[in-house]
């Protein structure tokens, strides 16, 4: 089982948006394993999209989804990841 560690959170009272580090393999619904030594993954906690017209514009592979998060979270997450490595 992967260990998930909160890196950055921009909510005043918990919840999203947030970015998490992952230590260990991630098993997807299709059985694929991600988060190897060669390509580290992070988890983004954000808002679920419920806008079919917007979602239809994204070319998803099976098992993929999109979360809406503030751009400032991504920039802050990148700074935190760089500082930890």
pLDDT in tens, 20-55: 999 999 888 888 888 777 788 899 999 988 898 999
Q: Average model confidence (pLDDT) for the chain? A: 89
- Here the tokens at position 39 are 């390509």
CA dihedral 32, 65, 7, 72 (to 10 degrees): 150
Contact 29, 63 (CB under 8 A): yes
Q: What is the pLDDT of residue 49?
A: 87
Model confidence at 62: pLDDT above 90: no
- What pTM value is reported for the model? 0.79
């Amino acid at each position: 089982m992967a260990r998930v560690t909160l890196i950055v959170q921009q909510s005043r009272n918990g919840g999203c948006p947030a970015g998490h580090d992952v230590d260990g393999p991630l098993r997807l619904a299709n059985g694929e394993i991600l988060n190897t030594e060669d390509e580290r993954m992070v988890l983004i906690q954000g808002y679920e999209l419920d806008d079919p017209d917007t979602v239809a514009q994204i070319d998803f592979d099976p098992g993929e989804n999109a979360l809406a998060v503030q751009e400032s979270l991504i920039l802050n997450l990148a700074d935190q990841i760089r500082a930890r490595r």
